[in-house]
Structure 1
């Protein structure tokens, strides 16, 4: 369990689309927006956890067509989010927005963005199908163990990104300075597009 927890935490800490979205929303909408985005991401993980534990993810990954469809949808979503973020940053420059944050992100939008960033990512399904079984006992009754390990992964995700969101918000006065915020938004948009392209190349 300890080995799994350490390995899972290291994987969670690797930057990905959900971290990019949490950073962006925490800067724009404050701590609550970042936490809501994280909650959406956790719900997206829960979809893959349930699917992997029940064997559905294995069926998905065994079908080239199903995997490709999910990959295309996930790619389009990430690229679209990246372009929207870049356009938002450009509009902020054109409008001469010097505010420290409009704090006006709808709650449903934050939840939806976090949820879709994980739920539509077949690489997350791939992770639970390939990584998780390495830590399961060599018995027939593996469902309970799979759910237990998955719960640990989701809990670590929750703890890490709660700390991350609080840290981003704590340094909000600096990070929301117009010049800094514009650079972060541009970087976030470019990263989301890059994540989308990388997902499109996933086999």
Structure 2
């Protein structure tokens, strides 16, 4: 069991390092609205990770493998969410003031909204569900109680993912102090908007 845990933690860290929609959303929220909102987004994201892990443990996410219709519905939903967030960021960038304005803080975002954004971004991605149901069972040692072990691995997966994002949010919060000019904030919105829009289009186009 211990060797399985060590192998799983190492694999979970490698998975966390792969950038995706959640990374883009978390960094944008931390840079634009500060570390606390960034952490709220991380917590929402990890709730999504945990839900996918539990779904895999109880066999629910296996439906995404068995049903093309269910997978496509989740895929299109996730793509719409990402395209919406990317379009919204680009709209904000376009409607901000002139380049030489005084520094302006970003619009306040509640912690609850940041949490929901992280949760929706993760849970609307069907690839996370397919990955959970194909990834977690590989590390269950022979003879171990399957359901209990999968639930344990789901919790560890969420914790490892959060540990990876903590220093990222801290650094993004530090960078926020240097990014107070309105022109720089506008550029950040443009870049994050394009990234989210591109991820959404890619998700929609994938088979």
TM-score computed with the length of structure 1 as normaliser: 0.91
Q: In the alignment, what sits opposite 2:140?
A: 136
The answer as to whether partners of 1:27 and 1:101 remain within 8 angstroms in 2 is no
Q: In the alignment, what sits opposite 2:10?
A: 6
Offset of residue 182 of structure 1: 2.5
The answer as to whether partners of 1:33 and 1:107 remain within 8 angstroms in 2 is yes
Q: In the alignment, what sits opposite 2:200?
A: 196
What is the distance in 1 between the residues matched to 2:102 and 2:126? 39
What is the distance in 1 between the residues matched to 2:100 and 2:94? 10
What is the distance in 2 between the residues matched to 1:82 and 1:19? 14
What is the distance in 2 between the residues matched to 1:126 and 1:97? 47
- Aligned residues: CA RMSD: 1.9
Q: Does 1:17 align with 2:24?
A: no
TM-score computed with the length of structure 2 as normaliser: 0.90
Q: In the alignment, what sits opposite 2:56?
A: 52
Q: In the alignment, what sits opposite 2:44?
A: 40
Q: In the alignment, what sits opposite 2:170?
A: 166
Unaligned runs of 5+ in 1: none
Q: In the alignment, what sits opposite 2:82?
A: 78
Q: How many residues align?
A: 203
Partner of residue 31 from structure 2, selected from 27, 30, 35: 27
Unaligned runs of 5+ in 2: none
Q: In the alignment, what sits opposite 2:127?
A: 123
